Structure 1
């Protein structure tokens, strides 16, 4: 039996919803970080810098999930993986050292201010990347 390789685009089907949610988070985190940095950066520079970093990662995830190709797929995997590690590290750090986080970030308290979506979203993104990976299928001739 001949084999064919096929892969679903990450932006197809449920991927459209995923790209939209990432886009909303990219916009939200960017706006939040921009306002925080512009108005009160000296009050919590670490927290506000981490909000800006989260915004950049959400932007990268949005764009890379919306585009096709191996490079974009690897970049999406790196962005979702970095986001998940960031949520775990920053979430834990923000709970252990409240002095370092006098103001909330997107990822502080594991994304509590955003309904914990920041803790779940990268797992959904990683699952989607796995689900849409290259598959070898046998084709009847």
Structure 2
């Protein structure tokens, strides 16, 4: 006789196991890193904008923007909804572009960035984790894409 499992519907109307396990392995590590950077970059950006915005408005606005991107990436990786993977792809892709563009511009035109952002000099102030993190995130998203998308 077939075993019955408790099934409920998530907010998007999809069937979901009642005993869904929390994320494990590389996904859990990525989520933890994104959450740390979300808190750090957002807090840094808010404090910089609130206390010394006139000193380097572009750099401070980019710090806050990077925090929002990290929050979006974390939400996309944590949740398991129809919109989660597209959100994660968009956020991690934006992060990669941001790190590359801001990293290059901060080296070529240091006067535009008198104070560092999270992404300045490719994340040098954060041990280059900001350039490594989107690479890992994009690799994980690619490796775990749905089977139908692999064909």
TM-score by length of 2: 0.81
User: Aligned partners of 2:123, 2:91: CA distance in 1, in Å?
Assistant: 17
CA distance in 2, matches of 1:41, 1:78: 28
| Partner secondary structure for residue 105 of structure 1 | coil
Distance in 2 (alpha carbons) for counterparts of 1:94 and 1:12: 36
Match of 2:71 in 1: 59
- CA RMSD of the aligned region, Å? 1.6
- Matches for 1:63-82 after TM superposition, within 5 Å: 63-82=75-94
Q: Is the CA contact 1:10–1:129 (under 8 Å) kept in the aligned structure 2?
A: no
Question: Deviating runs (4+, > 3 A) in structure 1?
Answer: 9-12
Alignment coverage as a number of residue pairs: 128
User: What are the within-5 Å matches in structure 2 for residues 1-20 of structure 1?
Assistant: 11-20=23-32
State how far apart, in whole Å, the 1-side matches of 2:129 and 2:140 are. Answer: 16
Unmatched tracts of structure 1, length 5 or more: 1-8, 137-141
Deviation (angstroms), 1:36: 0.9
User: 106, 130, 137: which one pairs with 1:125?
Assistant: 137
Which deviates further from its counterpart, 11-20 or 50-59?
11-20
Tell me, yes or no, if the aligned pair for 1:10 and 1:65 is still in contact at 8 Å: no
Which one has a bigger Cα radius of gyration?
2
2:40 pairs with one of 15, 18, 28: 28
